[in-house]
Amino acid sequence: MVQIAMANELPPSAPHRAVRSGVRPRTRAGRCTVGSDLGRRIGVLISGRGSNLQALIDAIAEGRLRAEIAVVIANRADAAGLARARTAGIETITIPHRDYPSREAFEETLIAELRARRVALVCLAGFMRLLGATFLEAYPNAILNIHPSLLPAFPGVDAQRQAWTYGTKVAGATVHLVTGELDGGPIVMQRAVAVPDDDTPDTLAARILDVEHQIYPDAAQLVLDGGWRIEGRRFRRA
């Protein structure tokens, strides 16, 4: 069941309309057309608290990110970030992955909702589902993720604790394009934080989260501005 809610409305139970006629990114191999061709409409996918979503909302409000969040989609009805979106007047949709018989069916529904709203760039913000080929092929080079480590170090869950446990003296956050490899796509932006001796996993995670909130809007702006290309694994501005 897909639940759609406009801002400041109680989430109504809405039947899913299989809208499949949205704009599709026209991306030549390795060359970016996001932004320049498709406008600046973002779709944000969340599963939880949504602090990175809030950072995107705030950056747009402050004019630091020239974009519009067309929709926020959660795969969990209890995702706290949904309330943040509604407060900001952004349409929200809940698409519980468990309602679908397969990953493909779930992703086809996501794609239909995003295309119906002419989303050009998908921002994953604590979205706890792996995306498969169906979704990746629908949005080639147009999906961003934020990860709380300096990739390629510490991919996967609980990256901040992984870094702390390992004993690194520097940790940080990464925004990258999403590919089929877990936390493995071309790196768009990174920022480091020091790990002092008296850090705990929680204080380190809080410092990294602060950095995440700074770099995610900046990286989204960079990608939407276009004029970049992928060379091998490298994201390069012209």
- In the complex, which residues of this chain contact ligand GRF (CB under 6 A)? 48-52, 81, 125-126, 146-148, 209, 212
By beta-carbon proximity to ligand GRF, the closer residue of 112 and 121 is 121
Task: Give the nearest distance from C-beta 62 to ligand GRF in angstroms.
Answer: 18
By beta-carbon proximity to ligand GRF, the closer residue of 52 and 115 is 52
Does the annotation count 97 as an active-site position? no
Task: Give the nearest distance from C-beta 114 to ligand GRF in angstroms.
Answer: 19
Task: Give the nearest distance from C-beta 19 to ligand GRF in angstroms.
Answer: 27
Task: Give the nearest distance from C-beta 148 to ligand GRF in angstroms.
Answer: 4
Name the residue with tokens 């309330």. Answer: 83
Q: What is the DSSP letter of 99?
A: G
Q: Note the residue count of the chain.
A: 238
2 φψ region: left (φ > 0), alpha (ψ -120 to 50), beta (else): beta
By beta-carbon proximity to ligand GRF, the closer residue of 146 and 178 is 146
Instruction: Taking each helix axis as running N to C, give the angle between helix 51-61 and helix 201-225, from 0 to 180 degrees, rounded to the nearest 10.
Output: 40
Residue 229 β-bridge partners: 31, 236
Tokens of 209: 């989260």
Residue nearest to ligand GRF (CB): 126
Task: Count the Cβ atoms, other than its own, within 10 Å of residue 167.
Answer: 8
By beta-carbon proximity to ligand GRF, the closer residue of 146 and 204 is 146
Catalytic residue among 16, 147, 176, 213: 147
Which sequence positions are flagged as catalytic? Answer: 147
